[in-house]
Amino acid sequence: MQYNNLWDYRHSAKEILTKEAWDYLEGGAGDETTVQNNRKTFNQYSFRPRIPSKAVDKVNTDVNILGVRRELPILLGPVSPLQLFHSGGERAQVQAAMDTDTIAICSGHSLAKIDEMGSWNGKKWFQLYSTVDAAHNYEIIDRVCLAGYEALVVTVDAFHKAIRDRDLKNNFKLPAGIGFGNYPVKSYRTDGSIELLPLGWDDLTKILEYSAIPVIIKGVLNPADVKLASELGFAGVVISNHGGRQLDKVATTLDILLEAGDVSRNGFDIYIDGGFMRGVDILMALALGANAVLLGRAYVYGLVVAGDAGVSKVVSILMNELSNAMKQIGVSAISELSPMLLSKNNLNPSI
Ligand SMILES: Cc1cc2nc3c(=O)[nH]c(=O)nc-3n(C[C@H](O)[C@H](O)[C@H](O)COP(=O)(O)O)c2cc1C
C-alpha cells in the first residue's frame, strides 16, 4: 500500500484495528458533532494569497516553542493508552519525536512509569491528569521535574467521565495488561477507568507556583481563559476540545484561535489541536497565531500501521505538505503569516 497522505494511513489503521479499538480511537461524545465539526471547520477557512515582494523558492518552517526556535510546528500530543494501538506505543511516540526532531507529550495515563519514559532519548513534555489525591499530584510533578521533562501540560477538559456511545455499545474495556502506570489504586473506578480531581484556577495557580518547569494548560476553549492564563504566568495553552471526545457541541478550536490568536504574539505560547490531517490545516492555525499544532489521532494512524516509523512518516508527510503550501501562497517564513492571508466563509475575519 502506498501512503501518500494521512487519509491513507487512516484507511489502513481501520483495517488493522479491532472494531472496539477503532471506535475508541475515532469515537467522540454524544452525537459526535464536535468530532465532525473539527474537520469541517477547515473547509470554512480559505487562503487569499498575496504576490510576495520577493519570489519564494525556499521556505523556513521555524517556530518558537517555549522560547526556543524549532524547525517543526508539530508536537505529538498525549494519547492513552497507546498500547491499545501498537504494542510498543509509548516508546514509539518518543522515538518518532526524536527521529523527526519534535516533542512528545507523554500522556499522564501512560502504562510506562514517569521515570522510565523520562529516560528515553528524545524531547518530552508530561501531561498531567490530576488524581483524586491532591498530594499525589505534587508527587507526580516532583517525579516529572526530576525525570527531565521540559514542560508540564495540565489537562483541564476531562475531569468527568465522558459519555461515548460507541464505547457503551461495544461495552469497551481496556484489555488486560493495559492500565495506568502512575496512579494509586484508589483512583480506579470499578470499570477500570481513573477518577480525577476537578481543578479550578486556584488549583492551577498552585501547580504553577509549585512546578519547576513551565506549565501549559490543555483544554482551553474560551478566549478569556487564554488571556487569563497568559496574565497569570502560564507558559501557554493548548486550545483543544479533546478531539470532541469529552463533550459534544463545544466550539471548534480554529474558531477560538481566531478570537484568541493575538495573545500569542506577546511571548505566550498558543498550541492547538483537533482534526489536523493536512499541511494546509497546520498553515491555517499558524496564520491565526498558533505557535504549533498537536497531532492526536493523526499520528496514531501511522503508529498502528508501522510503529515509530509510521509516526515519523506521518510527520514528514505533513511537513512536506506544509512547506509546499507555504511556497504556493508565497510565504517563506512562518513570521510572515497573518490572519490577513485567510478568509472565513469568504469574508476576511481579521478586520
Ligand atoms: C484515543 C485518544 C486518547 C487520548 N488520550 C489523551 C490523554 O491521555 N491525555 C490528554 O490530555 N488528551 C488525550 N486525548 C486528546 C488528544 O491529546 C487531543 O486533544 C485530541 O486527540 C486532538 O484531536 P484529534 O485526535 O482529532 O487530532 C486523547 C485522544 C484520543 C483520540
Domains of the chain, each with CATH number or no CATH: 6-45+59-333 (3.20.20.70)
Q: How would you write the pLDDT of the chain (351 residues) with one tens digit per residue?
A: 899 999 999 999 999 999 999 999 999 999 999 999 999 999 999 999 999 999 999 999 999 999 999 999 999 999 999 999 999 999 999 999 999 999 999 999 999 999 999 999 999 999 999 988 888 899 999 999 999 999 999 999 999 999 999 999 999 998 888 878 887 666 777 676 778 889 999 999 999 999 999 999 999 999 999 999 999 999 999 999 999 999 999 999 999 999 998 877 667 999 999 999 999 999 999 999 999 999 999 999 999 999 999 999 999 999 999 999 999 999 999 999 999 999 998 887 553
**Could you give the CA distance from residue 288 to residue 340 in angstroms, rounded to a whole number?**
9
C-alpha cell at 108: 499522564
Q: Is 101 helix (H, G, I), strand (E, B) or coil?
A: coil
In short, whether 157's Cβ falls inside 6 Å of ligand 1 is no
pTM of the model: 0.97
| Beta strand pairing call for 63-65 and 236-239 | unpaired
Name which residue sits closest to atom 30 of ligand 1, judged by CA. Answer: 79
Q: How far is the CA of 114 from the centre of ligand 1 (A)?
A: 19
User: What confidence tens digit (pLDDT) does each residue in 136-164 have?
Assistant: 899 999 999 999 999 999 999 999 999 99
Single-letter amino acid code for the residue at 171? N
Pick the atom of ligand 1 nearest to 155's CA: 11
Q: How far is the CA of 246 from the centre of ligand 1 (A)?
A: 10
In short, whether 273's Cβ falls inside 6 Å of ligand 1 is yes
Q: Is 242 a catalytic residue?
A: yes
Q: Where are the beta strands (DSSP E) in the chain?
A: 45-47, 63-65, 68-70, 74-76, 103-106, 123-128, 152-155, 215-220, 236-239, 269-272, 292-295, 342-344
Name which residue sits closest to atom 29 of ligand 1, judged by CA. Answer: 79
DSSP 153-175: EEE-S-SS----HHHHHTT--PP
In short, whether 252's Cβ falls inside 6 Å of ligand 1 is no
Pick the atom of ligand 1 nearest to 240's CA: 19
| Beta strand pairing call for 269-272 and 292-295 | parallel
User: What confidence tens digit (pLDDT) does each residue in 300-340 have?
Assistant: 999 999 999 999 999 999 999 999 999 999 999 999 999 99
CB-based burial label for 85 (10 Å; 0-12, 13-18, 19+): buried
